[in-house]
Structure 1
Amino acid sequence: MSRAAALLGLAALVAMAGCSEKVQTNAEGVKHDAVPWSGTGSESGKGTPFTAQGWQVGDKTAWEQQLKTRQQNGQNEYNKLN
């Protein structure tokens, strides 16, 4: 009986060890994102093959216009059906 109790106790300890949670801290501090129209990481300023044609890095107005166009063409069901 004591051997079964010892095994049961050991199993309980192992199971409880899986329930612990490590402390989550951010030692590096807060990281602030760059503005979305700041670019794709291309040094030349031309973007990548995945950027919209004619868009230049840092052009906030063109970025916002592209988002409006995407919303109207891709997410507006009324425009898709008519």
Structure 2
Amino acid sequence: MIKRTTPFILAACVAAFTLAACGEKPQTGMGVRTDAVPYAGTGSNFTDAGWKAGDKTSWEAHLKTRQQYGQNEYTRSQAK
């Protein structure tokens, strides 16, 4: 015969095991870290035509243009 407390104990054990599986894993790695400045480039062939790797002013100009015309929905809708 099953005691009345057995289902409660079983449910508590299942809940404990379920919550134990949801624990956060330790974050031991620091991820990708580089000491190079962003405008130094990556050495990839897939860069914008007018940008030269290592040229900070060219980098800033391209970022400003991209922000103004490429990612601004208002100006993109006005151009049509």
Asked whether the two chains share a fold, i.e. TM above 0.5, the reply is yes
1:66 maps onto 2:62 in alignment: yes
Q: Is the 8 A contact 1:37 1:58 kept in 2?
A: yes
Matched residues, number: 74
TM-score (norm 2): 0.59
Tell me, which stretches of 5 or more residues in structure 1 are unaligned?
none
- Counterpart Cα distance in 1 of 2:61 and 2:73: 16
CA apart distance, 1:16: 2.0
CA apart distance, 1:80: 4.3
Tell me the percent identity: 35
Q: Is the 8 A contact 2:69 2:75 kept in 1?
A: no
1:8 maps onto 2:8 in alignment: yes
TM-score (norm 1): 0.59
- Counterpart Cα distance in 2 of 1:78 and 1:32: 35
CA apart distance, 1:76: 6.0
Structure 1's 18 and 71: CA in aligned 2 closer, same or farther, altered over 3 A?
same
Structure 1's 38 and 15: CA in aligned 2 closer, same or farther, altered over 3 A?
farther
Structure 1's 78 and 30: CA in aligned 2 closer, same or farther, altered over 3 A?
closer
CA-to-partner distance for each residue in 1:1-59, whole Å, 9 max, x for gaps?
A: 42x63243123222222223245343x4586444321223x2xxxx322x111322222
Q: Is the 8 A contact 1:72 1:79 kept in 2?
A: no
Letter in 1 for 2:59: W
